[in-house]
Chains A and B, each alone.
Chain A
Amino acid sequence: MKKLARFLRTNPSIAIGAALLCGMLLFWLVGTITIGTSRAVPLSGPPDQPPSARYLLGTDSAGRQLLPVLIAGIPLTLEIGLLAGGVGLLIGTLLGFSAGYFGGSVDSIIRTTADVILPIPALAVLVVIASTIHTLLSVEIMALVIASLAWMYPTRTIRAQVLSLRNRAFVEVGRFSGETHVDIIFRELMPNLLPYLAASFVGAVGAGILAGIGLEALGLGPQDKPTLGMTIFWAIYYGATLRGMWWWWGPPIVVLILVFMSLFLIAQGLDRYANPRLRRTA
């Protein structure tokens, strides 16, 4: 614990990233309480209004008020990322641990499957899947679709980490202390990979959000939800850039940049913690 505290002091990137993320959550919380999200739907105001005292961030061509849209969009976008990244990493962790620890044919099957799927451009597959089940697409289903193609990279990297640990003598001592394979994986190996898994999780969340935004910007997101990506899609659809409506596409992009920056800083910090060789010696 003391070690962690000292690490956090000397490597401020986790703190900065977390502060950014907390700031965004605070914005969402205060916004939900004071303004609410009920006016994030079409026809809740006159269309195409620039920001003013009455419509703080203006309105879009369908009459959505864009400040409530932003407030409603932040948690939806984070939800896609958390769900997609979490499920992807969970699958990757299970497969990576199985492949690395048991080796042999289990490893061959998992590794080959991951290797075969890995180079297929995920966005192309996601576009096909998403456009096929377009009408069913909710935020949760979209997250699961993204997760179905987000497990290969974690599988490979976690397998490599497990390989480096499984032949350590403490694993053999554990066997002679009566631990089963499941004990070894969860009690001996997993704790040592916690910082690494945390860093992977943050990275996977970022990748999940990015994949979600990519789909949404193509119009393949949930049509009735004002996620940040869908807002960008509608802005493109109604030619907001040509019409000079910067208040439409600007704020969601700024928020996304902040989200990615904070996730990147947190992941980088955790990565340094998990892998001391990347640490700055200052």
Chain B
Amino acid sequence: MVPLLEARHVTKVFGGGLLDKKRVTVALFEFTLGVEVEPPSITAVVGESGSGKTTLARTLLGLAAPTQGEVRYRGTDLKRLSREQRSRFLRDVQVIFQDPYEVYNPFYKVDHVLETPIRKFNLASSRSAARALIEEALHGVGLRADETLGRYPHQLSGGQRQRVMVARAVLTRPRLIIADEPVSMVDSSLRATILESLSELKRSFGISLIYITHDLTTAYQIADHIVVLYRGSAVEAGDVERVVKNPQHPYTQLLVGSIPLPNPDHAWQRDVVLADSSDAPVVDLTGCRFADRCPYVMEVCTTARPPLFQTDPRRVAACYRLDHAPTLRSEDLGEVLVTATPTQANTLTAE
């Protein structure tokens, strides 16, 4: 089956002017991921600043063109979509941005962001139908229309504004929503309600979500699958339960170990050995990109890039310490991120 959205060998390089070829940043390197939306699931993409999370979101959305490789929507390169396909792409794939302030045009009331997609995609035949759609979408994110509409963005709280953006993304009934750090700029007391609205999307509308975050705890809270990015490559991916509870890649172990535990007897990051990466070369694409920080670095790590080792059916990790496991082609990364549907599971047991 052709995935709804697919990144194929995407490399995105920033910088590198005419005179200064060395100062380039490789935000994504040979990244491949197919996003299946059947059955609907939530996939978290986690990584530290500069790991390429936002670049991944922007290339998947077609907001940034990959330097190499391509992003395909239902098998067609985003750059070659016809007018009709593009309109379908915009309805199928929606977005929630990080900053709930910048996404509003200060000239308009918040109604503008909700009315525009309805008008542009002809989602409603009359004004009352449009109003009903908006009220339904707002209700779905726990907002009341009469308390939200008719106001300017600055008259709403950050949490309300972000929920209006969630409502906006839902209006077109997309198959997939890509949310780039949707709660990182929202007051922490309101995060839970927004995360709740996001996971509600999967349950009530069957919308899949790519949840991009630096926060492993919220990822664990709402996601089904997780992809751990490090310097533009996936280092570990799979079922969120397995990856977070029992991380295999040293970088994931480091990330999980960085979560502060509410336990006074457990010193924070006591047993994490972190190599200095300040003098790391800017571009070093041979070998494992984590090698300069890895406490277990081996000879092979600096000479060859580790493939994805499939340690179990629902998880892969790119580390030579796991080289006893079979390797998985990077094209097939999407396979470990598919939830077995209950019906499939049933037929299997019936046989």
Contact = CB atoms under 8 A, between A and B. Distances in A.
Interface of A: 168-170, 172-179, 183, 188, 191-192
Interface stretch (B97-105, B272-280, B322-330): B97-105
29 contacts: A169-B97, A169-B99, A169-B102, A169-B103, A170-B103, A170-B104, A170-B105, A172-B63, A172-B95, A172-B97, A172-B103, A173-B95, A173-B97, A173-B103, A174-B116, A176-B117, A177-B113, A177-B116, A178-B87, A178-B90, A178-B117, A178-B120, A178-B121, A183-B120, A188-B105, A191-B105, A191-B108, A192-B105, A192-B107
B168 interface: yes
Contact of B106 (A173, A174, A177, A192): A192
Nearest to A178: B120
B43 interface: no
B103 A177 contact: no
A176 B95 contact: yes
Nearest to A189: B105
Contacts of A177: 113, 116-117, 120, 168
A275 to B, nearest CB: 14
Given A169-B97, A170-B102, 12 more contacts: A168-B102, A169-B99, A170-B103, A173-B97, A174-B105, A175-B63, A176-B117, A177-B117, A178-B121, A191-B105, A191-B107, A192-B106
B41 interface: no
Nearest to B83: A180
Q: Choose among B63, B104, B105, B106 the residue with the greatest number of A CB atoms under 10 Å from its CB.
A: B105
Give the 8 A-B residue pairs with the shortest CB-CB distance, closest first. Answer: A178-B120, A169-B102, A177-B116, A191-B107, A177-B117, A170-B105, A169-B103, A173-B103
A120 B32 CA distance: 54
A221 B165 CA distance: 58
Contacts of B104: 170
Contacts of B106: 192
Nearest to B120: A178
Contacts of B90: 175-176, 178
Nearest to B169: A176
Contacts of A188: 105
A183 B107 CA distance: 15
Contacts of B120: 177-179, 183
A172 B63 CA distance: 8
Interface of B: 61, 63, 87, 90-91, 94-95, 97, 99, 102-108, 113, 116-117, 120-121, 165, 168-169
B70 to A, nearest CB: 20
A159 to B, nearest CB: 20
Nearest to B119: A178
Contacts of A174: 105, 116
A97 to B, nearest CB: 16
A183 B165 CA distance: 20
A29 to B, nearest CB: 36
Contacts of A172: 63, 95, 97, 103
Contacts of B102: 168-170
A162 to B, nearest CB: 14
Nearest to A165: B105
Contacts of A169: 97, 99, 102-103
Contacts of A168: 102
Nearest to A173: B103
Contacts of A170: 102-105
A214 B168 CA distance: 55
A178 B120 CA distance: 5
B85 to A, nearest CB: 14
A169 B99 CA distance: 8
Given A170-B102, A172-B97, A179 B107 contact: no
Nearest to B104: A170
Given A169-B102, A169-B103, A192-B105, A178 B97 contact: no
Contacts of B165: 173
Contacts of B169: 176
Nearest to A180: B120
Contacts of A183: 120
Contacts of B63: 172, 175
A237 to B, nearest CB: 52
Nearest to A168: B102
Contacts of B97: 169, 172-173
Q: Choose among A168, A170, A173, A179 the residue with the greatest number of B CB atoms under 10 Å from its CB.
A: A173
Contacts of B121: 178
Nearest to B153: A170
Nearest to A171: B105
A170 B102 CA distance: 6
Q: Choose among A169, A176, A177 the residue with the greatest number of B CB atoms under 10 Å from its CB.
A: A176
